Structure 1
Amino acid sequence: MSTIKDVAKLSQTSVGTVSRYLNGYPIKTVNKEKIEDAIKCLDFSINPIARGLKTNKTYTVGILIPKLANLFSTSVIEGMDQVFDPLGYSILVCDSKNSLEKEKEKLRLFKDKLVDGIILMPVNNTEQHIREIQENGVPIVLIDRLVNNLQCDGVVSDNVNGVYQAVEAIINRGHRRIAIIAGPQNIYPAKERLEGYLRAMKDYNIEVDHNLIYQNELTREGGYQGIASFCAMDEPPTAIFTSNDETTIGAYKSIIERGLLIGEDISLFGYDQTELCQMVRPQISVVIQPLETIGKRSAEILISRMKGDYTGFPIINRLKTEIVVTNSVKTIY
């Protein structure tokens, strides 16, 4: 079995340099490339138990997300793994199923497993159980959602401006009766996305009809019921914005079942790109989040915190979104 000494010899670097690389510390790029080539050539692997005993680390990171079976989760986790894997970290991924009790249970599991750090997408604004983990010395980085009254690093999308630009694009195609399927306002991104909608309407001097703001869970059923509510109006909206991928899918199903044509009878603009948005005709206009970048950046911040570097704490990164406007939004001038 190959050892660190073997890696150092083949890569023509010192044992100390190899050790620094394996423990996640920065080294010269030329040495990093040599060491990585030597590791592949020797099929070198680290004994995590031995390393843990020596360093008081498990080289394991806990990742907790409300729902794993969607594009957001798979994409951000892929971004995280691109950072963690080369540094020898294993990831323990759990699903809280949008349940606060399940979130608390999984965080206790992470604590019992002695993870070195946690990346969390919280289900709501409850903070005490998260603060307790922090007080036990385990660094946490939040993604997608921040928590009120909690000092914590976070990586989120610029929800307000993303939705603002989407609603602005709808307005610029002549629409004035613009509806939104919004989420619960105790969820950080749902609150910000509604704020983006309201700002755009205000800036373009369009009076907000609160009957056009449908609040429900950010689920397919929520999107489906939102369309049902709007279609029952005497004067339905001409365009609808859906606040996440699940509501977009539910809204699409509800529209099609009613025999309506998207981009003709009703305009639709969603948040987050899904395979459905790309496959249907016309493709659905969407706000696109930099999902892999969210994963990478959250992992990079957590690496720094696990090394004891708390410079700038708490760091809040707001990443820019972009919009793709298609024929799903009709021009009605």
Structure 2
Amino acid sequence: MVATVHDVAQKAQVSVGTVSRYLNGYQLRESNRGRVERAIVELGFKSNIFARGLKRKRSMAIAVVTPDFDMFSTSITTAIEQILEQEHYSLIICDYQRDKDALKRKLMFLQDRYIDGVILFPSNLAASSKDVIQKYLAKKIPIVLVDHTIPGIETDAVIIDNANVSFRAIEELIRHNHRQIAIINGRRDSLVCQERLQGYYNAMQTYGLPIQQEWIAWGDFTQYGGYHAVKALMALPERPTAIYATNYTMTVGAVLALQEMHIAIPDHVSLVGFDRFESVEIIEPPLTMVEQPLNLIAQNAAHLILKRIRGEYSDFATTIKLNTKMVIGESVKNI
């Protein structure tokens, strides 16, 4: 079986990010560099990439560019790699640390590496890289966007129906007779967040419920942000009876804040969280969560990039919008 970045990381006992940084020319600590190089040699990782490239006049490498190595992007990237390695492709994995200038540098760097395609998690920072992205597309180097589209860029994308996700989450709370419902959203300038907020508005308006601006909190997609958002919400004169957190790390932050304040879930406040990763199973009580179809996102992104690399453009540009699943736990109380 072809060695992957994950195999190298496991053998070298380092993270996937460390291996990717080595492959992208970054300096590592001497001990890490030595382990990575030994693992690459033992697994034949480099020779596999270049041998395939020479035979097929391709690099046989696809780049995955993510804003960070969080659980969401890592889970999808792992699934993408499993699919692409069956087609004898290897991944070059880059993170741009949520820095728009770093994203542009990474894309320009990859262009010089003659990669066959890019799967990009663009977040809200890709607007400043439109010129580089357009150069890729003009050269028929396919780009598939994941989780987020880029206004003004016509290319393939795999996203979820964010507005519908939020509508259903709020509707679940309304079904349990909640009327005072808060949302902890990510970033104001994120298209994904705007769509999730719109779903919140749509649900509240559909059911004729009041919307109070102080119940709309912003957590920057971080655990710290979710923690402080809950602290602020629970300090309001009129507390919400239910909270909807729109990503995993903010959900964890919300739980930690409620536990610290001895506010019981769901007896004192109900909670709907987002992204059901394995670690959420240790939280008590079991949370009602929005679960994204991570494997399906990966499958669609991988199949689209392979299709474009093979020169099949009859349905370009395709946007695949996927639905989520509501996993019912014990964190929502009927009032």
TM-score range, shorter chain: 0.7 to 0.9
Instruction: Please report how far the alpha carbon of residue 48 of structure 1 lies from its aligned counterpart in structure 2 after TM superposition.
Output: 4.2
Cross-structure match for 1:87: 87
1:104-123 mapped onto 2 (5 Å cutoff): 104-123=104-123
Give 2:280's aligned residue: 277
Retained in 1: the 8 A contact 2:134–2:153? Answer: yes
1: CA distance between counterparts of 2:331 and 2:219?
A: 23
Show the counterpart of 1:62: 63
Among all aligned residue pairs of Structure 1 and Structure 2, give the percentage whose two residues are the same amino acid: 33
Aligned equivalents of 1:233 and 1:47: distance in 2?
59
Q: 1:187 maps to which residue?
A: 190
Deviates more, 1:261-270 or 1:72-81: 72-81
Gap regions ≥5 residues in structure 1 = 1-45
Once the two structures are TM-superposed, the CA of residue 234 in structure 1 deviates from its matched residue by 0.3
| 8 Å Cα contact 1:64/1:95 also seen in 2 | yes
- Distance (Å, rounded) in 2 between the aligned partners of 1:63 and 1:88: 16
Equivalenced residue count is 287
TM-score norm. by structure 2 comes to 0.82
Q: Does the residue aligned with 2:63 lie in a helix, a strand or coil?
A: strand
Q: CA deviation at 1:74?
A: 2.6
Matches of 2:218 and 2:116, distance apart in 1: 38
**Residue equivalent to 2:16:** none
For residues 167-246 of structure 1, the aligned pairs below 5 Å read 167-246=170-249
Conserved in 1, the CA contact under 8 Å of 2:167 and 2:200? Answer: yes
Q: Aligned partners of 2:216 and 2:176: how far apart in 1?
A: 20
Counterpart code for 1:104? K
Counterparts of 1:96-111 in structure 2, within 5 Å, are 96-111=96-111
Task: Tell me if structure 2 keeps the 8 A contact 1:182–1:213.
Answer: yes
| Contact 1:99–1:123 under 8 Å retained in 2 | no
1:239 Cα deviation after fit: 0.4
Match of 1:311 among 303, 311, 314: 314
Quote the Cα distance in structure 2 between the aligned partners of 1:276 and 1:79: 18
Deviation at 1:331, TM superposition (A): 0.8
Contact 1:79–1:294 under 8 Å retained in 2? no
What is the rounded CA distance, in whole Å, between the counterparts of 1:48 and 1:69 in structure 2?
A: 26
- Deviation per CA, 1:72-94: give whole Å up to 9, x if none: 12321122123211110001111
Please state how far the C-alpha of 1:119 moved relative to its aligned partner: 0.1
Q: Distance in 1 between matches of 2:58 and 2:74?
A: 26
Q: Mark the CA change 1:55 to 1:276 in structure 2 (over 3 Å): closer, same or farther.
A: closer
- Is 2:269 aligned against 1:266? yes
- Partner Cα separation in structure 2 for residue 312 and residue 235 of structure 1: 51
Instruction: Indicate conservation of the 8 Å contact 1:82/1:296, yes or no.
Output: no
- Find the residue that maps to 2:158 and give its secondary structure: strand
Q: Does residue 329 of structure 1 match 2:332?
A: yes
Aligned to 1:35: none
Give the whole-Å Cα distance in 2 for the aligned partners of 1:280 and 1:52. Answer: 47
Q: Please give the secondary structure, in 1, of the residue aligned with 2:119.
A: strand
Q: Deviation at 1:95?
A: 1.3
* 1:255 equivalenced with 2:258 (yes/no): yes
Higher relative contact order (CA 8 A, sep 6+): 1
What secondary structure is seen at the aligned counterpart in 2 of 1:67? coil
Aligned counterparts of 2:214 and 2:279: Cα–Cα separation in 1: 28
* C-alpha distance after superposition, 1:91-134 (max 9, x if no partner): 11111111111211221221122110000001315133322332
> Offset at 1:274?
2.7
Secondary structure in 2 aligned to 1:87? coil
Change (3 A) 1:82 1:229: same
- Is 1:142 matched with 2:140? no
CA distance in 2, matches of 1:48, 1:154: 27
Aligned-residue offset at 1:54: 4.6
- 1:208 is aligned with what amino acid? I
Question: 2:188 aligns to what SS in structure 1?
Answer: coil
Alpha-carbon shift at residue 53 of structure 1 (Å): 3.5
- Report the more deviating stretch, 79-88 or 145-154: 79-88
The structure with the largest alpha-carbon Rg is 1
Contact 1:169/1:325, CA 8 A, preserved across alignment: no
Farther-moved stretch of structure 1 (179-188 vs 311-320): 179-188
AA at the equivalent of 1:89? Y
Supply the distance in 2 between the matched residues of 1:47 and 1:268 (Cα, whole angstroms): 48
- State the distance in 1 between where 2:219 and 2:136 align: 31
The aligned residue for residue 21 of structure 2 is none
